[in-house]
Amino acid sequence: MTQRKADKRRLHAVTTMGELAELYRDTKPELLNLSEASSAPALEEGEGKPAPKYFYMRRVHAIDGLPYCVISIYLDDRIFRKAPARVRQELVIPLLMSLKVKIANARQRLTIATADVDEALHLGIPVNSPVGRVRRVFNGPDGTVIYLADVTYRGDFVRLEMEMKP
């Protein structure tokens, strides 16, 4: 595998919304919608206030036929209604940027864990394989949680690099 192809298969940790959107902009994963519903996320303390209603979808993303993440997305229904067909067919973060959705606060948390039975099945890895779990929360100007994603990445797709100051 060439270095460029190897890098394409990696999740790079980024720290700005622009970098995050750019990370996904050039990625053309295959999207397998596992489920859709109207469902509210369980918000943790300090994440913000809930929207009146959410559109929920669960997907598997794959590159070159290789699944690399399982993602559960809760999107403020008011945003979903602006472009429902696009939400179902495109990566949501670049779509939010193209719709010029106002994001006042964005944060994500990465934890290392092991794959449960369902994640292992969808990612094509053994149960208890290492995975990276990312919880990503975007708030609108009034503090409403407009986007929440719980993402499980295959361990071999996660690479964390940080510039360190001497």
pLDDT digits (tens, 9 = 90+) for 25-60: 555 567 778 778 888 999 999 999 999 999 999 999
pLDDT digits (tens, 9 = 90+) for 74-108: 999 999 999 999 999 888 998 999 999 999 999 99
Would the pLDDT of 2 be above 80?
no
pLDDT-wise least confident of 3-7, 10-14, 33-37, 106-110: 3-7
| All structural domains of the chain | 3-41+49-157 (3.40.1410.10)
Instruction: Print burial letters for 130-158: b (CB count within 10 Å at least 16), e (below 16).
Output: ebbbbbbbbbbeeebbbbbbbbbbbbbbb
This prediction's pTM: 0.84
Strand pairing category for 11-12 and 158-159: parallel
Would you place residue 159 in the very low, low, confident or very high pLDDT band (cuts 50, 70, 90)?
confident
**Mean pLDDT within 12-22:** 61
Would the pLDDT of 114 be above 90?
yes
Paired with 134 in beta bridges are 110, 151
Which pLDDT score, from 0 to 100, does residue 148 have? 98
Is the CB of residue 136 less than 8 Å from the CB of residue 147? Answer: yes
Name the DSSP letter for residue 73.
Answer: E
Dist CA 116 CA 97 (whole Å) = 32
Would the pLDDT of 1 be above 70?
no
